[in-house]
Amino acid sequence: MLTVRKSEERGYAKHAWLESRHSFSFANYHDPAFMGFGPLRVINDDWIDADMRFGTHAHRDMEIITYVLEGEIAHKDSMGNGSTIRPGDVQRMSAGTGVRHSEFNPSATNKTHLLQIWIQPATEGNEPGYEEKNFSREEKQGRLCLVASHNAQDGSVRIHQDASVYVGLFDGGEQAQLPLVRSRLAYVHVASGQVRVNEVNLQAGDAVMLEDEELLTLTQGVQAEVLVFDLPR
């Protein structure tokens, strides 16, 4: 079964310096039908104005993945980590028993466009941790590149959940398939461009939830950047 969520159906928030689309209930946006999908709890599609920031705030018991689409985001946390994340980088912060961090757009002129993803861990009370890795366009072009997993397979960042996150770039005749297990869930988010997922055509910001499916097929991409989540129920 495939369930499509169109971009314009997501929650929307506009602040003085931040514009955000929420795939699931978050902050002042609440929809009982979209509280999450399996352990996938948040996909926030954020545009951050130049030289603006999320001030220092706390998290706990959440796997937080930041994926930059355009621009860059700088990060500092209470574990002593500090870096600047750019397109191609995947940042994983395991909040565990508690961590404080801040994020800001270091550019004086350009906006930052990013996805912030929260996945609930399989167990609570883990030790906080941080990791970041770069995945080149070549690794993602025309295929699904594993960027996060529970066992750090294929050089992916490690998360505390039996979930896998893939990123792929598709254009023209490029296509990819991912075998699925019927007892699990899959979620596809189109970050940019357009692509066909099984028999469904999707545009930037659209998503599709897959249940009881055995195969995911991505075809007919037009400058598409796609994130795929393989999730437990």
The torsion angles phi and psi of 38, rounded to 5 degrees, stand at 60, -135
HEC secondary structure over the chain: CEEEECHHHCEEEECCCEEEEECCCECCECCCCCCCECCEEEEEEEEECCCCEEEEEEECCCEEEEEEEECCEEEEECCCCEEEECCCEEEEEECCCCEEEEEECCCCCCCEEEEEEEECCCCCCCCCEEEEEECCHHHHECCEEEEEECCCHHHCEECCCCCEEEEEEECCCCCEEEECCCCCEEEEEEEEEEEEECCEEEECCCEEEEECCCEEEEEEEEEEEEEEEEECC
pLDDT reported for residue 144:
98
pLDDT reported for residue 94:
96
Task: Determine contact, residues 2/188, Cβ cutoff 8 Å.
Answer: no
pLDDT reported for residue 54:
85
Whole-number Cα distances in Å, 63 to 12, 79, 224: 23, 15, 26
Cα–Cα distance, 120 to 216 (Å, whole number)? 23
From the CB of residue 225, how many other CB atoms can be counted at a distance below 10 Å? Answer: 23
Predicted structure pTM score: 0.96
Q: Which domains does the chain have, with CATH numbers?
A: 2-231 (2.60.120.10)
Pairing, β 144-149 against β 157-158: parallel
pLDDT reported for residue 53:
77
pLDDT averaged over consecutive 10-residue blocks of the chain (233 residues)?
Answer: 97 94 96 97 97 88 97 93 94 96 93 97 96 96 98 97 98 97 97 97 98 97 98 96
